[in-house]
Amino acid sequence: MSALFEIHNLAKLNWDTGEGASKYIFAGVSAEIAGPERIALIGASGQGKSTLLRILALLDAPDEGDLLVNGTSYKNMNVRQWRMAVSYVAQQSVMLPGSVEDNLRTVSRLHGNAYDSKLAEQLLQQLGLDYLDLGKTAADCSGGEKQRISLIRSLLLRPRILLLDEITASLDINSTQKVESLLTDWHLKEGTLLIWVTHDLEQAHRISNRAWVIGNGELQEHSSDTLFAEPAAVLAKKFIQSVKGTR
């Protein structure tokens, strides 16, 4: 049986071609994820975490390599099919024109599925947004509200793979806990693979069973328990020490 998600020799050229700049942001990135897991993607600023996530969502093109969902390459799928399986939640959430409800209905409209209003209601409640007037213009919502609305918009699609780019960055502790617990439950119930970029190492440990550390153009993979308990690998060790050193 094919793996849920495969990344083969992925590379992205650096657009900075100046002296001293490396040719690639990252190269030779490979990983095989057999089934649903919770992966924390960590690394210092500017190492390519968002670029990698955007490529996995086909919002940016790889320069080399291949991506496969359930054994099918992205080259043999159209973007719409890919995005039904792989959904990306951005750090800066973009609201579409119209109301909160228009935004939540977008996914079903785009993919021709029935809108699951019960699930939408339940997710709004779980994320502490049940007070929100669904008729409110989405653009007028706060940053934290928009971030949670865009997460719900993606969940309503029930993707196999969910790519999360610092999605709790503008949330308070209470809302962050709600997002973490909702996604942990969702992963268990729906069998969704989560790949979650975060700068918060405690959050990375809480929300993952595997960790990908990106730096110096390469990706290293670890079990989260090993990585956060005893960061043996040089790259991970260096990164964790640099983060701890800044506290």
Ligand X SMILES: Nc1ncnc2c1ncn2[C@@H]1O[C@H](COP(=O)(O)OP(=O)(O)OP(=O)(O)O)[C@@H](O)[C@H]1O
> How many residues make contact with ligand X (CB under 6 A)?
14
What character string, x for contact with ligand X (CB under 6 A) and - otherwise, covers 28-67?
---------------x-xxxxxxx----------------
Q: Answer yes or no: are the C-beta atoms of 201 and 30 closer than 8 Å.
A: no
* Of 16 and 172, CB closest to ligand X: 16
Q: What is the nearest approach in angstroms of ligand X to the Cβ of residue 101?
A: 31
Q: Answer yes or no: are the C-beta atoms of 206 and 198 closer than 8 Å.
A: no
| Length of the chain in terms of residues written | 247
User: Which among 7-15, 30-38, 171-179, 238-246 is the span making contact with ligand X, rule CB under 6 A?
Assistant: 7-15
- Summary count for the chain: helices (H), strands (E): 9, 10
User: Which among 10-18, 82-90, 186-194, 230-238 is the span making contact with ligand X, rule CB under 6 A?
Assistant: 10-18
Q: What is the nearest approach in angstroms of ligand X to the Cβ of residue 243?
A: 11
* Of 15 and 131, CB closest to ligand X: 15
Q: Does 23 bind ligand X (CB under 6 A)?
A: no
* Of 43 and 128, CB closest to ligand X: 43
Contacts of 111 (CB under 8 A, 6+ apart): 80, 84, 157
Kindly provide the residue ranges of all beta strands, DSSP E only, lying in the chain, ordered along the sequence.
Answer: 5-13, 24-33, 38-42, 64-69, 72-73, 86-89, 161-165, 193-197, 210-215, 218-223
For residues 12 and 14, give the distance between their C-alpha atoms in angstroms, rounded to a whole number: 6
Which positions touch ligand X (CB under 6 A)? 12-16, 25, 43, 45-51
